[in-house]
Structures are given as C-alpha cells and as structure tokens.
C-alpha cells in the first residue's frame, strides 16, 4: 500500500500494476547500472587502439550480432523453457562473460598485476596529444580490447531488448502509455548510478567489470518476479492485459498468439503453432518481420535512429580523444557526460513521459527525436565546438529517452507474443547494428573526404533526419489504428 501511494505521486497506477512496475523498474536499474559502469572502460579501450579503428569495431559488432541475435531468438523459441527463465539465463550468461573479461583484461594489461594501479593512468602525457595506435600494443592487448568492445555492445542490445519484450508482454497499449515512462526511469536511474560509480571509481579500471557482473545477477533475480500475482480475484482486480484470463504461471509456459492469428499469413501461423524445437526457429524473427509491413516500418524507424545516434557518437568520441589524453581522464569524462545526461533524463521520465504519451500521443513521441536530431545537426554545423557537441548530445538523448524511446516500446504492445520475443529482438539487435555499421561507413568516408571537418559532416545527417521524421509520422498513425482495432476486438 505504501509503495502504491509512493508510485501514485509520479504516475497514474492501479493496485494490481504495482508489483510488475516495481520489478520491471528494478530490473532495468540493475541492467543499466552494469552497462554504464563498463561503458567508459570500453570506450577508453577503443580510443587506446586509435580513433581510426572505431568504425571497424562497429562493423565487427554487426558481424557478431548476426551470429548472436538468432541464437537469442532460439532461446525464446524453446517450448520447454519459459520466457522468464530464458531471460534469467541471458543475464547470467553475460554476468559470467564479464568476469572472464576481467581476467583477460588483467592478463593483457602492461602492468599485469592483481592490484589496481593508478600512478601511470594519472600521469599527464605531454609528449603526444593522440591516442596510441595498433602498432603500439601486442596482439593480446589488441584482441582483448576489440572483443570487449564488441561484447559490451552485444550485452547492451540483447539484455535491454529482451527485458523490454518481457515488460511489453505483461502490459497493453493503455497501461504502457501510463507506465513505460516510469519503467524507463529505472533504466535511467541505473545509468546515473552506474555513471557516478564509474566516475568516482575510474581508477579501478578492469575491476569495474566485477561490479557490473554483480549487477547482472541482481537483474536476473529481479526479473524472476515480473508477471507474478498479476490478478487477485478476491479484490476484483483485472490483469494488466485484458486478453489474458489464464493463471500467470501457466501463461508464461505457452505461446499465446490467439488474438493475432487472424492477422498473420498462413506460413507465419504454421511457424508459431509448432511446439517442437527446430533449427529454423533461428529464423522465426526474420520471417515474422518479412511478413509484416508494420514490423518492416518499425525496422526502418530503428535503423534511421541508429544511424543518427552513431553519427553523433563518432563526433563525441573524436572531440574527447583530441581533448583528453590519459586513460583514466577519458574514462572519467565519459562517465561524467553519461551522469550529466542521466540527471535530465530521469527528471523527465518521472514527471513528463506518461503525460506526453497520453496527451500528445505516440505520433508526436516518435517524431520528437528525429526533429531534435535535425536541429542538432544544424547547431553543430554552425558551431562545431566541444560545448556545442556536449549540449546537442544532452538534448538529443533527453528527448530520445524521455519521449521517443517509451513511444517506440508502445509499438510492440499491438503485436503478438511471438513478435514481441522473436521479431522484437531481431529488430532491436540486428537492425540497430546495421544502423551502427552504416553510420560507421558514412562517417569514415566523410571524415576522410572532408578532412575531418565536423561542420560539413553534420550537414550530411540532415536527409537521414528528414526521412526519420516521415517514418515516425506514418508509424505513429499505424500504431494508433492497430491499438483501436485491438480494443474493439477485446471489448
């Protein structure tokens, strides 16, 4: 009762929704805490290999994702493995991998010691303002940092996408409009906590990996509680999703796509109806996307989002690499920027997101980020300074995570359960990586052709932003139509 009263201060929430909101929010908090603790370590490690290597790392992320995304789809396709257990396995797998990278990082470091040393990191290197290149390190050092960059990118996409799929599965369009902002605030609070921890403990270096591994285990424990006790017949409460009348513990062991079968082509029905595991389950996500114009449009929207986001990322890293020359200094600056952004995002998610989604609607939410990115491109073209880049990055991410990201997750409240767990993971993971790789290729080409002039490079992002706005307009209208149709069917 106390928790419900506290939550009602920030959002409109019903008693039966409190349980899932609390555990969904805490799960995101732990996942994002772990990710943002190691993110500065990842970026600093990439810079130590040379700025010119970063676009290549993005292409490597795409290759790894092409292998890993179908495997994650297969995990959610196993008929004898409930969705909550599959999610726990994913968290623990990445937790164990972080411990492994901790050992590899220590062994590959020049100091090769069991105790963190800060003396060399804090030393000001006045002889050169450029990060080291590949030829300055041994093959083991290079291999560990390349693999770590690729792995952290994969961890981010798969864990967040899988968690959102679980949350979207226990909420409908109406409850998601009210609650997704607060749930997303849990992720932002995790970003703030992880970034502040990384800022204060930047001198620990690879030991931050152990803390991140612990956060992933906490996420696994918290996620077990999502979807439990959704209804209480003695109190006359309804479950979060109007179409679910079965016991929650029975529901999580079944693939319930009854409400959507009529809208799926025959070939798709046969795939989701099969109860036996098969190799072709790896391709279920791709197949479901291909058969749905709606999901194809969602894929295009996310691809354009990823291209634009990565474009701004390359600009930020280029400026920081030329400004800060010590590894600890770069880790601390990356963490400080993440902390600064998280404060504004958290304030917006706790106070504005639910109101914006319910009042302005999903179309306005989807178009907010591309319009902001368009204005940012113009601002950086006019004033290509570190201050302009930092302000633009802050504004863009605040709008994205306060408004557009919750709206994007609402897109999956009107699709089937199979599309949530299989197609969504493919869209969030693979399409995201294709966008990153596209931006990496564009940026590398433009950076070489235009001699690194950020002013000119920014202008080439304008057509992408315009197409992104148009896609958001179409997708918002389509989602609204599907939501109304779903409400009519359920009533």
Q: Is the pLDDT of residue 256 over 50?
A: no
Q: What is the pLDDT of residue 455?
A: 61
Residues 10, 450: Cα–Cα separation, whole Å: 48
- For residues 54 and 212, the model is more confident at 212
Give me the phi and psi of 112, to 5 degrees please: 50, 55
Q: Which of 135-144, 159-168, 250-259, 268-277 has the lowest mean pLDDT?
A: 250-259
The CA-atom distances, in angstroms, between 120 and each of 51, 128, 135, 203, 486 are: 21, 15, 20, 10, 61
**What domains does the chain contain, in order, with CATH numbers?**
17-227+265-490 (1.20.1250.20)
Q: What percent of the chain clears pLDDT 90, i.e. is strictly above it?
A: 14
Q: Is the pLDDT of residue 42 over 50?
A: yes
Mean pLDDT of the chain: 74
Residues 48, 60: Cα–Cα separation, whole Å: 17
Q: Where does residue 262 rank: exposed (0-12), middle (13-18), buried (19+ CB within 10 A)? A: exposed
pLDDT in tens, 435-477: 888 888 887 777 777 665 656 677 788 898 999 999 999 999 9
Q: Is the pLDDT of residue 246 over 50?
A: no
Residues 370, 473: Cα–Cα separation, whole Å: 11
Band (276; pLDDT cuts 50, 70, 90): very low
pLDDT in tens, 69-83: 777 777 777 778 887
CB 66 within 8 A of CB 430: yes
Q: What is the pLDDT of residue 344?
A: 81
Residues 201-221, mean pLDDT to the nearest whole number: 89
Residues 17-37, mean pLDDT to the nearest whole number: 86
């Amino acid at each position: 009762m106390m928790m419900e009263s506290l939550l009602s201060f920030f959002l409109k929430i019903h008693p039966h929704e409190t349980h899932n909101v609390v555990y969904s929010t805490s799960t995101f908090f732990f996942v994002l805490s772990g990710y943002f603790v190691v993110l500065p370590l990842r970026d600093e490690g990439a810079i130590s290999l040379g700025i010119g290597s970063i676009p290549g790392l993005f292409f490597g992320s795409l290759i790894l994702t092409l292998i890993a995304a179908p495997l994650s789809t297969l995990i959610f396709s196993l008929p004898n493995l409930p969705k909550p257990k599959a999610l726990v396995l994913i968290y623990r797998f990445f937790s164990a991998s972080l411990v492994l990278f901790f050992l590899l990082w220590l062994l590959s470091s020049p100091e090769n010691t069991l105790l963190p040393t800060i003396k060399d990191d804090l030393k000001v290197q006045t002889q050169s303002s450029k990060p080291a290149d590949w030829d300055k390190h041994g093959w083991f050092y290079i291999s560990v940092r390349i693999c770590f960059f690729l792995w952290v990118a994969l961890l981010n996409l798969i864990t967040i996408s899988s968690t959102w799929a679980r949350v979207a599965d226990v909420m409908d369009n109406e409850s998601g409009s009210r609650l997704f902002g607060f749930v997303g605030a849990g992720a932002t609070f995790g970003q703030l906590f992880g970034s502040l921890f990384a800022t204060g403990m930047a001198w620990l270096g690879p030991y931050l990996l152990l803390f991140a591994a612990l956060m992933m285990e906490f996420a696994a424990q918290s996620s077990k509680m999502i979807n439990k006790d959704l209804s209480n017949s003695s109190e006359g409460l309804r479950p979060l999703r109007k179409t679910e009348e079965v016991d929650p513990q029975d529901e999580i062991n079944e693939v319930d796509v009854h409400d959507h079968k009529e809208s799926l082509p025959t070939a798709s029905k046969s795939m989701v109806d099969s109860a036996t595991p098969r190799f072709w389950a790896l391709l279920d996500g791709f197949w479901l996307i291909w058969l749905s114009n709606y999901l194809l449009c969602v894929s295009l929207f996310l691809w354009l989002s990823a291209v634009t986001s990565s474009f701004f990322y390359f600009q930020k890293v280029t400026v920081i690499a030329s400004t800060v020359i010590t590894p600890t200094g770069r880790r601390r600056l990356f963490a400080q920027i993440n902390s600064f952004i998280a404060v504004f995002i958290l304030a917006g998610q706790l106070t504005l997101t639910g109101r914006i989604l319910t009042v302005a609607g999903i179309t306005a939410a989807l178009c907010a980020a591309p319009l902001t990115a368009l204005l940012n491109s113009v601002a950086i073209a006019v004033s290509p300074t570190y201050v302009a880049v930092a302000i633009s990055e802050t504004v863009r991410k605040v709008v994205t995570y306060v408004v557009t990201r919750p709206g994007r997750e609402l897109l999956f409240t009107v699709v089937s359960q199979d599309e949530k767990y299989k197609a969504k993971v493919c869209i969030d993971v693979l399409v995201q990586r294709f966008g990153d790789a596209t931006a990496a290729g564009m940026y590398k080409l433009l950076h070489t052709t235009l001699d690194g002039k950020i002013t000119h490079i920014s202008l080439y992002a304008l057509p992408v932003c315009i197409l992104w706005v148009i896609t958001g307009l179409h997708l918002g209208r389509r989602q609204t139509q599907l939501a109304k149709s779903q409400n009519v069917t359920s009533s």
